[in-house]
């Protein structure tokens, strides 16, 4: 279940970057997928 939460947060970050900065998330998505700590993902989203 935690894996699903992590993937959802990763997707949220990629969607934000795409909408806010019009970035193609291919390279960025790979980097975001490397973030697997749920706490770090939550803090990251907090600043968006």
Tens place of pLDDT per residue across the chain (48 aa): 799 999 999 999 999 888 888 877 688 889 999 999 999 999 999 987
pLDDT for the residue numbered 22: 85
pLDDT for the residue numbered 25: 65
Helix extents (H) in the chain: 2-21, 26-33, 38-46
Give the relative orientation of helices 38-46 and 2-21 as an angle to the nearest 10 degrees: 30
pTM here?
0.83
């Amino acid at each position: 279940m935690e894996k699903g939460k992590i993937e959802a947060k990763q997707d949220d970050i990629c969607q934000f970057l795409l909408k806010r900065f019009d970035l193609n998330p291919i390279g960025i998505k790979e980097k975001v997928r490397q973030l697997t700590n749920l706490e770090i993902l939550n803090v990251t989203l907090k600043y968006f």
